[in-house]
Amino acid sequence: MIPFPQISPEIFTIHLFGLSLSLRWYALAYLVGLLVGWRIIVGLMRRPALWGDRAPMPPEKVEELLTWVVLGVVLGGRLGFVLFYEPGYYLANPGQILQLWNGGMSFHGGFLGVVLVSWVYCQRHGIPPLRLADAMGVAAPIGLGLGRLANFINAELWGRPTDLPWGVIFPGDAAQACPGVTGLCARHPSQLYEAALEGILLAVVLFALVRRGGLRRPGLALGVFVMGYGLSRFVVEFFRQADAQFITPDNPLGHVVGGAVWGLSMGQLLSLPMVLVGLAFVIRAQSRPPVARAAA
């Protein structure tokens, strides 16, 4: 067992005029992920040869796109959490829906939010949606990896009990809530599993794809990202503790579809369509000839 490292969720706190202003690792992960993603997309737009003919948008327009993406991530992520995970609670307490400081964000909701605002942005500016989506897919894993590291620091979204040597004794309820275990119990550091798969591995695959001319096939990078995230999340859900509202004495694994033993968690249920949609994009992109390189 590994004791949980003593890392405060808050980087620093400033007390000013009777108010306390804190910068948390989770907020910093969002900010850095968005800024790094922005710079990656700018870099891709500055290299038209990667796209075959020309980049889908001028590099200077990416900063405006960033504002739209932030809106999609925040609103989509919050509304996704409300609708997918705790609709009954927020229906009874609608005033808490916009209280983001109390936590509760859904990747799947944030993903749908980004898809929607990006499509609207493309329609307004005459940008090919599929090609912009490829660029955004390449940039996304960095932010995902940082977000999962922040989840670990916050000691949230921890995994199921384990006796493996790298099991972590998380603080609070996580160490006290293992059925049949007397005293403290260790859990899978599922946040780190996700950071490795959704962040590092998926980023390496996508950057290798770009180097091999993947952006010349519209939809290919998008499909690899969507399918790769869906597969990663589906696998990690086998080690991740289900949300408390789904766990009952008869359903200790928190499955929402199927039986208590062989069913699917909410995360797996939401990830399966991503795998299928991503695969469809990959097959479609591979079935068409790549965009011809512009004449020198």
Hey, where are the domains in the chain? 24-90+102-286
pLDDT digits (tens, 9 = 90+) for 249-285: 888 888 888 776 678 898 899 899 999 999 999 999 9
In the chain, what's the furthest Cα-to-Cα distance?
A: 71
Q: Which band of pLDDT confidence, cut at 50, 70 and 90, is reported for residue 164? A: very high
pLDDT beyond 60 at 141 = yes
Give the N- to C-terminal CA distance of the chain in Å, as an integer: 60
DSSP 8-class letter at 264: B
Helix, strand or coil, per DSSP, at residue 82: helix
- Cβ contacts of 44 within 8 Å, gap of 6 or more: 50, 55, 135, 138, 139, 210, 215
Report strand pairing: 19-24 vs 2-3.
Answer: unpaired
Evaluate if residue 295 carries a pLDDT over 80. Answer: no
Contact 272, 258 (CB under 8 A): no
Q: Is the pLDDT of residue 296 over 60?
A: no
Q: Identify the DSSP state of 181.
A: -
| Calpha distance 238→160 (Å, rounded) | 8
Render pLDDT for 106-121 as a digit per residue (tens, 0 to 9).
878 888 899 999 999 9
Provide the β-strand partners of residue 168. 2, 187
- Please report the pLDDT score of residue 96 as a whole number: 76
- The residue behind tokens 């001028």 is 58
Give pLDDT, residue 179. Answer: 67
Share of the chain above pLDDT 90, in %: 52
Give the separation between CA 135 and CA 50, rounded to whole angstroms. Answer: 11
Q: How far apart are CA 26 and CA 154, in angstroms?
A: 8
Question: Three-state SS for 22?
Answer: strand
Contact 34, 70 (CB under 8 A): yes
For residue 15, which phi and psi values (nearest 5 degrees)? -100, 120
Cα dihedral 270, 142, 137, 217 sign: negative
Least Cα distance to 273 among 84, 105, 121, 142 occurs for 84
For 246, residues 6+ apart whose C-beta sits below 8 A from its C-beta are 254, 255, 256, 265, 266
pLDDT tier for residue 131 given thresholds of 50, 70 and 90? very high
**Per mean pLDDT, which of 11-15, 178-182, 225-229 is the most reliable?**
225-229
Look at the chain and count its residues.
296
Three-point CA angle 216, 217, 223, nearest 5°: 130
pLDDT digits (tens, 9 = 90+) for 70-106: 889 888 888 888 888 788 888 888 877 777 666 677 8
Own/partner contacts of 167-175, CB < 8 Å, gap of 24 or more, are 167/1, 167/2, 168/1, 168/2, 168/3, 168/4, 169/1, 169/2, 169/3, 169/4, 170/4, 171/4, 174/241
